[in-house]
Structure 1
Amino acid sequence: MHNNLASWIISFIKGMFIGSGAILPGVSGGALAAVFGIYEKLIQFISNIKKDFLYNILYFLPVGLGSLFGIVILARPIESLLVNHPVYILLFFMGCIFGTVPLLYAQAGIHGRTIKHLVLTILTAVISFILLVSANVFLDIQVAQTTFTWILVGMIFAFGFIVPGLSPSNFLIYMNLYEPLTGAIGDLNFSILIPVSFGIVLCVIIFSKLINHLMNLYYTTIFHFILGIVIASTVIIFPTMEQFSALTISEIIFAFILAALGLCLGLWMGKLETKYKSED
């Protein structure tokens, strides 16, 4: 019973990070799902929903509740922190993600790895970083807010889970739709949330089977590719010099303490994940 409760709480916390990460610019909900050892099971579940239905529902219930909490309850606080204290929240998330990277690295090599896979990870990280920097500098598009637009936003949001490393929040910022979406989440504006939800479901139905098929064929390659994207998309959220310049020395020290706490939390969660896998 104790183990079940502990496992439930850990799954809820993972879901909370995945949900809040999905709305944090530069962070991918799918990448965090991969980091926390949930991604593969999630893709298998949504691509063949009838298989082990009850078991999967019970397994993903705390993850789903945690994700909902992370998206709905934390949307406004995260938006506020990004405006008022960006260095604190960005460094904390960086610490959390890097703390769980060793687990993702181990998972990527569970079926073995070669030098080619490590080279793929490095190249993916470098190319992804360059593309992300370029997008941050050059992309700024004004998109009309229509029902079709919000369905498209839902599909982009879902892609952030189905394709690890893809940060939906970044795309929404480039399209100037990030603040309207987080505002709609905080205000429970269903005229926006309903088409967004429809887009999420549509994307999952269309692409989940394809991703699951590719995972079965190219597991090691895909996970090393994901690892490279996770590294790049985590490094890219490092605060700018302008953001640091607004802080005092003591505030900067506190920010790096938060990063260290995030790192410890990530490492702890990684160890717990390994422990529960070994017990299973």
Structure 2
Amino acid sequence: MSQTPSPDTTPTPAPASHLDAPESVGAWLVRLLKGIAIGIGFILPGLSGGVLAVIFKIYDPMIKFLANLRQRFWANVRYFIPVGIGGVIGVVLFSIVVAAAFGRYEAAFVTLFIGFVIGTFPSLWRQAGKQGRSVRDYVILGVAAAAIFAIMLVGGQSDLTVQPNLGVWLASGALIGLGVIVPGMSPSNF
């Protein structure tokens, strides 16, 4: 004789993912605001939209969606519409603010952006050292720092203009896309 649970004792299954939760206006607006912040991160050198996406818990669902576009495609599109709208708003509005600020306070804003970059070093140092460091790691750090410094010196003394063409635009788009997906890489630096 098999036992079946009574209707009032059957547990209600929890939503399987962020896509199964009921949509509310508040949740939509929160994702819009997160998108605006991520868009601002795309504009500002030293900030990473990818890092902000991680902080706002948008990164994992975005990567899962991009890794398998066919799985729950329309549910994912509905989920990311406010993030995309917010991203565009953040990029457009903040680019106006940045352009005006650079026109009036260029030295202050360059210093601010350098501060953003330097401010990420402690967290990167801790993250990179979670499994310990060896002498080899310090040698690689020194060689990389010297190479970057040399590139900056050479780049500052030469004119690095690139003639726009289809290949340049595609390569630029690929680098910006990489900067969007990889946390810590700032698309505006590219």
- Normalising to structure 1: TM-score of the pair? 0.44
**1:123-177 Cα deviation digits (max 9, x unpaired):** 8xxx5x9589738833452211222211111111101112111122222xxxxxx
Give the corresponding residue for 1:147: 166
Matches within 5 A, 1:22-61: 22-61=42-81
Task: Give, in whole Å, the separation in 1 of the partners of 2:132 and 2:175.
Answer: 29
Where 1:169 maps in the other structure, the secondary structure is: coil
**1:186-242 Cα deviation digits (max 9, x unpaired):** xxxxxxxxxxxxxxxxxxxxxxxxxxxxxxxxxxxxxxxxxxxxxxxxxxxxxxxxx
Q: Write the letter of the residue equivalent to 1:68.
A: V
Where 1:168 maps in the other structure, the secondary structure is: coil
Q: Write the letter of the residue equivalent to 2:75.
A: Y
* Aligned with 1:8 (options 9, 17, 28): 28
Structure 2 gaps of 5+ residues are 1-22
Bigger share in helix: 1
Task: Give, in whole Å, the separation in 2 of the partners of 1:63 and 1:134.
Answer: 37
Task: Give, in whole Å, the separation in 2 of the partners of 1:134 and 1:75.
Answer: 29
Contact 2:40 2:94 in 1 (8 A): yes
Task: Give, in whole Å, the separation in 1 of the partners of 2:27 and 2:178.
Answer: 27
Contact 2:43 2:94 in 1 (8 A): no
Distance 1:4 1:163, change over 3 A: same
Q: Write the letter of the residue equivalent to 2:57.
A: G
Task: Give, in whole Å, the separation in 1 of the partners of 2:178 and 2:45.
Answer: 15
1:72 equivalent to 2:72? Answer no
Q: Matched residues, percent identical? A: 31
Distance 1:44 1:159, change over 3 A: same
Give the corresponding residue for 2:16: none
* Aligned with 2:130 (options 117, 134, 137): 117
Distance 1:131 1:156, change over 3 A: farther
Give the corresponding residue for 2:7: none
Distance 1:116 1:153, change over 3 A: closer
Q: Write the letter of the residue equivalent to 2:94.
A: L
The number of residues matched between the two structures is: 150
Give the corresponding residue for 1:204: none
Structure 1 gaps of 5+ residues are 109-114, 172-280
1:137 equivalent to 2:162? Answer no
Contact 1:45 1:51 in 2 (8 A): yes
Q: Write the letter of the residue equivalent to 1:163.
A: V
Task: Give, in whole Å, the separation in 2 of the partners of 1:144 and 1:34.
Answer: 35
Distance 1:147 1:21, change over 3 A: same
Task: Give, in whole Å, the separation in 1 of the partners of 2:102 and 2:28.
Answer: 29
* CA RMSD across the alignment: 3.8
